[in-house]
């Protein structure tokens, strides 16, 4: 007779390290290029909307709406165009959450994260060039403590990665998988409304890294790595333990 533990998964048991040969495998390189392009598109559109709005009218409530809509639409497209190639992570936190759940190897995950950081940096540099030197908006903490900001980023990223698991990773997703890119974009847009005025609602270390790199602004940068990674790890473990039934121990296609 099975015991209580037999009804639950142990995510860390499925973690796969992989090997350095993945850095040179054509499939992995193709996936990394897809992550680079998708992240570039996402950051260029999202940060570009911020530059455009601020240059025309200045910051304000309408700017928050503009940022939310631009990031939601851009992420929807960025995930959709790379989903069949790399899984459409577009975010080191998503990659980390999928690594914790055993859906991507460590080495492939590192390759993805490097591509995502380079894509964000390239997008930020392109924005500076195309706007004639206008500053790319950077992320920062406003009106709250650094620890409150950390919690904001943990909770927001938890919601994002939980949505990724529910709509894109879960083998039982069925037809709902078709709307995964839309759902992922919408949760990011919604979280920007909630946390945007306080932390910028990054939920994505790459989105913060590119503007910080080109603008040399690193204040509270650790929050935007620690928060998303903790939130992603929690979402991954909770969803894997309570909701996913694995029939084998191999990596998924996501």
Q: What is the tens place of the pLDDT at every residue in 215-240? A: 999 999 999 999 999 999 999 999 99
Q: What is the pLDDT of residue 18?
A: 82
From the centroid of its chain, how far is CA 178? 19
Backbone angles phi, psi at 100, to 5 degrees: -60, -35
% of the chain with per-residue pLDDT over 70:
89
Mean pLDDT (the chain) is 90
Neighbours of 8 (CB within 10 A): 13
CA distances in angstroms from 127 to 72, 76, 132, 211, listed in the order given: 19, 21, 8, 10
Q: What is the pLDDT of residue 212?
A: 96
User: Is the CB of residue 233 less than 8 Å from the CB of residue 97?
Assistant: yes
User: Is the CB of residue 126 less than 8 Å from the CB of residue 37?
Assistant: no
pLDDT tier for residue 51 given thresholds of 50, 70 and 90: confident
Report the C-alpha gap between 109 and 206 in whole angstroms: 14
Q: What is the CATH number of the domain that holds 36?
A: 1.20.1080.10
Residue from 76, 115, 95 nearest 228 by CA: 95
Backbone angles phi, psi at 190, to 5 degrees: -65, -40
Q: What is the pLDDT of residue 120?
A: 98
Domain membership of residue 129 (yes or no) is: yes
pLDDT, one tens digit per residue, over 67-121 is: 899 999 999 999 999 999 999 999 999 999 999 999 999 999 999 999 999 999 9
Lowest mean pLDDT among 49-53, 101-105, 182-186: 49-53
Domain membership of residue 203 (yes or no) is: yes
Lowest mean pLDDT among 49-58, 77-86, 114-123, 148-157: 49-58
pLDDT, one tens digit per residue, over 10-28 is: 666 778 888 888 888 999 9
Domain membership of residue 219 (yes or no) is: yes
Domain membership of residue 254 (yes or no) is: no
Domain membership of residue 167 (yes or no) is: yes
Residue from 152, 136, 135, 134 nearest 144 by CA: 152
User: Is the CB of residue 143 less than 8 Å from the CB of residue 198?
Assistant: yes
Report the C-alpha gap between 243 and 173 in whole angstroms: 11
Q: What is the pLDDT of residue 5?
A: 43
Exposure string for 238-249, b = 16+ CB within 10 A, e = fewer: ebbeeebeeeee
Whether pLDDT at 1 is above 60: no
User: Is the CB of residue 75 less than 8 Å from the CB of residue 94?
Assistant: no
Domain membership of residue 137 (yes or no) is: yes
Mean pLDDT of 31-51: 95
Tell me the CA end-to-end span of the chain in Å, nearest whole number: 33
Domain count, the chain: 1
Range of the domain at 185: 19-242
Question: Residues near 177 by Cβ (< 8 Å), separated by ≥ 6?
Answer: 167, 168
């Amino acid at each position: 007779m099975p015991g209580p533990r037999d009804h639950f998964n142990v995510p860390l048991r499925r973690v796969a390290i992989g090997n350095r040969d993945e850095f040179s495998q054509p499939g992995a390189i193709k996936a990394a290029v897809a992550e680079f392009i998708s992240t570039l598109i996402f950051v260029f559109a999202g940060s570009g909307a911020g530059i455009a709005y601020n240059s025309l009218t200045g910051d304000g409530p309408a700017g928050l709406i503009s940022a939310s809509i631009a990031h939601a639409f851009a992420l929807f497209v960025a995930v959709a165009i790379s989903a069949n190639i790399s899984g459409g992570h577009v975010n080191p936190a998503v990659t980390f959450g999928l690594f914790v759940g055993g859906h991507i190897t460590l080495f492939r995950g590192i390759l993805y994260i490097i591509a995502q950081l380079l894509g964000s940096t390239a997008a930020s540099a392109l924005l500076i060039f195309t706007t004639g030197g206008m500053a790319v908006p950077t992320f920062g903490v406003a009106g709250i403590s650094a620890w409150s900001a950390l919690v904001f980023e943990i909770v927001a990223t938890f919601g994002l990665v939980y949505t990724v698991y529910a709509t894109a990773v879960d083998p039982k997703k069925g037809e709902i998988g078709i709307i995964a890119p839309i759902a992922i974009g919408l949760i990011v847009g919604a979280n920007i409304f909630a946390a945007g005025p306080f932390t910028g609602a990054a939920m994505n270390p790459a989105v913060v890294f590119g503007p910080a790199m080109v603008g040399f602004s690193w204040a509270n940068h650790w929050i935007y790595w620690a928060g998303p990674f903790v939130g992603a790890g929690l979402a991954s473990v909770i969803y894997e333990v309570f909701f996913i039934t694995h029939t084998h121990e191999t990596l998924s296609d996501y």
